[in-house]
Structure 1
Amino acid sequence: MFDVDIHAHTRFFHWSPGEPTAYDPLGANLLAAASRRSDIDAVALTNHDYYEPFAAGAAKPQFIPGIEVTTTQGHALVVGPDPPTRTTPGTLSPETVVARAHEADCAVVIPHPFRHGTIHESGAAFDAVELNGKHPRRADRVHELAVDLGLPVVAGSDAHYPFEAGRAYTRVDADELTPASVVAAIRDGRVEPRVRTGPSERLLRQAYEYIHWAKGNSGRRRG
């Protein structure tokens, strides 16, 4: 069994949408350090509309390749051995993203359902639904959606700042930890979502809400 944060970012709130920035290597190193403190075995790097490999710098956590694609109906997480390296936001349909991901032996997850679009209504052949670490109170709705779609539930922190890493993660039933084994476990339903809900996590979510409020007041684009 392995604990995998299926959804995390190396860029602080994506100030430059769709393009790598100087924060990438720094963010990756800090994300790895925070994940180790949370005892996470692997983290999927799922930046918006691009994938760039980074070394975790230690045996744990392992970085899993991934990308968060902005489709015509919202976001889709592609995780696995060979995700796209670049996508143009708002140009690919959910069906196209899923088809290309499956051709590359990747899994496709609906992230943060009920936010940022209607991708959960697209009818595309997704592999799982995410319980997002920013919205644990939507757990019942997420599980109901998963039942309706006949899909397993995974979990990810959706960390944009490294200290958010590991607040939600997926327990993966696998004999070895590789991108391919994570994909296989998701597709087979050998996964279990976990969300940390202690006092520190509640304070973290409150801080996150304040940061987004401040960003909205500053006129910057949300990540």
Structure 2
Amino acid sequence: MFTVDLHAHTRFFHGFRGEPTPYDPVGARLLALWGRRSGLDGIALTNHDYYSPFDGATGEPQFIPGIEVTTTVGHLLVVGPDPPRRTVPGESTPEEVVSRAHGNGCAAIIAHPYRRSRVRESDADFDAVEINGKHPDNAERVRALSESLGIPVVGGSDAHYPFEVGRTVTRIEAAELTPETVVTAIREGAVSVDVRDSRVDELMRTGYGCVHRYL
């Protein structure tokens, strides 16, 4: 059993083009530091509309390749051995993103399905739906959605600051931790979700609720 955060960002700020910057390797190392403190075995690096392997940030936790794609109707996580290196925000439909993900041996996950997103309404062949670390109050709605779509539930912190990583994680049943085994576990439903529920986490979620309501 491995503990993996399937949704984390190396750049802890918004408002810049979706491409690597000199800060990204620093952000990756900070994620690894806090991930070790949180007892994580793996972290999926899912930056907005770009992926870079970030050489030099090695060891535990293991980095899993990924990207958070801005589709025409919301966000999709693509996680696995060969995610797209660059996507144009708002250009591709969920169906197109999922098809490309599957063609590259990756899993396609509906990210934060109830935050300014209509991805869940698509007929795409999704592999999972996410309980997001910023919105765990939506967990029951997400589980109901997973049942209606016939796909498993996974968890990710959606960390934009290092100390947030690991607040919602996916337990993965596998003999070893690789991008390929992560994809297989997701598709086979060999996953479960664990949400961290400290007082600090509750306060952060309240703050994020205000941010996403008005910005």
TM-score of the pair, normalised by structure 2:
0.95
Structure 1 residue 56: Cα displacement: 6.4
TM-score of the pair, normalised by structure 1:
0.91
Aligned residue in 2 for 1:75:
75
Give deviations 1:28-66, integer Å, cap 9, x for gaps.
Answer: 111111111000100000000000012464521000000
8 Å Cα contact 2:12/2:161 also seen in 1: yes
8 Å Cα contact 2:19/2:86 also seen in 1: no
* Residue 160 to residue 56, structure 1, CA distance change in 2 (3 Å): farther
Percent identity of the aligned residues? 60
How many residues are paired up?
214
Say whether 1:186 aligns with 2:192: no
Structure 1 consecutive aligned stretches of length 4 or more whose deviation exceeds 6 Å: none
State how far apart, in whole Å, the 1-side matches of 2:71 and 2:44 are.
19
RMSD: 1.6
Aligned residue in 1 for 2:197:
197
Residue aligned with 1:5, SS: strand
Aligned residue in 2 for 1:219:
none
The residue type paired with residue 133 of structure 1 is G
Structure 1 residue 209: Cα displacement: 5.1
Structure 1 residue 207: Cα displacement: 4.8
State how far apart, in whole Å, the 2-side matches of 1:101 and 1:6 are.
15
Residue aligned with 1:100, SS: helix
Residue aligned with 1:32, SS: helix
8 Å Cα contact 2:28/2:57 also seen in 1: no
Residue aligned with 2:169, SS: strand
Give deviations 1:121-152, integer Å, cap 9, x for gaps.
Answer: 01100000000000011111000000000010
8 Å Cα contact 1:28/1:56 also seen in 2: no
Residue aligned with 1:160, SS: coil
Gaps of 5+ in 1: 217-221
The residue type paired with residue 38 of structure 2 is S
